[in-house]
Amino acid sequence: MKRYAILILPLMCIGCLLFGENSDVIPDANNVTDKESPTEVIILGALHSYHQNNPNYSLETVRDIILACKPQAILVELPPSFDGKPTVVNGRLTGDFGKSEERWASQQAAIKLDVPIYPFDMDRRREIRRETGYWGRLREVNKNYGAWVEAEKDQLPGLYAMELHSQHTLKCILCLAEKAGPEVVNSEVLDSIKRASDSLIPVFKKLMAEHPEKAHLAREFDFIRQHRQHRDECMVKKIKHYAQKHQGQRIIVVVGAEHRYRLRDLLKEDDAIYLKEYWECQSQ
């Protein structure tokens, strides 16, 4: 499946493993909002399809973590609609959206806690990718990068070194996705792997710039990178919106783990938000 493919292109694409707003809410008259306090925001890294076979981080574990944190709202990695069909109505996931992966866990927890679910992904995500040919272009970038590495690995040791780094990163992420528990996935163990890979993006761009014949590859690489960056920025904007809506309360953001460190980095300077890890909230 496209969503879970691990791509050979280093740095940006390695994270594909893990890895209008909806105003319908379920009121809770028992909630007391402290207007003077920041909103507690938990970014819970999820593993998508890998939860199914990970004995240490199952979908039931995701559900139980959310329940233990007792949030006043749950944000899920979905846009408000797919091809015009709403993903959330009256604070609940619609149709099949609430029946698989961490969305199932979010739906079950929301029902039990009687709190709303909000979609917080980029608007028109599916439509934009279809209109821009995103998946086909990503495959082409991957293919062209792989051919470049194979042809020039002896002449360009820096390029080959990045490919080795990519392969090592892939093995690490796969190992974590298949075996790691939530305390590892939601820590610097995984975040640092992604951060180190992303820090090499400028090096890869410089290498492409030194080879004019790779101008098309460079442009397509930038298209993929900008799409990812824009998506993260859209997510952050919506997280801030719902944090303001639930000011002084606690919300939990359930998102593919590859987004985790970037979302936290983009939110950490906001005085209206207090970032917490799930394990800091479970006993409260």
Per the CB < 8 A criterion, the answer to whether 118 and 74 are in contact is yes
Sequence-separated (6 or more) residues with CB below 8 Å from residue 143:
none
* Structure confidence at residue 75 (pLDDT): 98
Strand partners, 250: 40
* Structure confidence at residue 157 (pLDDT): 86
* Structure confidence at residue 129 (pLDDT): 97
How far, in Å, CA of 118 to CA of 242, rounded? 8
Reading the chain (284 residues) residue by residue, the pLDDT tens digits are 333 333 434 444 545 544 533 333 333 433 445 557 999 999 999 999 999 999 999 999 999 999 999 999 999 999 999 999 999 999 999 999 989 899 999 999 999 999 999 999 999 999 999 999 999 999 999 999 999 988 998 888 888 888 888 888 889 999 999 999 999 999 999 999 998 888 888 988 999 999 999 999 999 999 999 999 999 999 999 999 999 999 999 999 999 999 999 999 999 999 999 999 999 987 55
Which tokens belong to 231?
A: 């998506």
Terminal Cα distance for the chain, rounded: 39
How far, in Å, CA of 21 to CA of 235, rounded? 11
* Structure confidence at residue 22 (pLDDT): 36
What letter does residue 114 receive in the DSSP assignment? T
* Structure confidence at residue 24 (pLDDT): 35
How far, in Å, CA of 128 to CA of 230, rounded? 12
Per the CB < 8 A criterion, the answer to whether 102 and 59 are in contact is yes
The residue with tokens 């070194």 is: 161
How far, in Å, CA of 196 to CA of 134, rounded? 25
Domain limits of the chain? 1-284
How far, in Å, CA of 189 to CA of 268, rounded? 19
* Structure confidence at residue 34 (pLDDT): 54
| Number of neighbouring beta carbons within 10 Å of residue 203 | 15
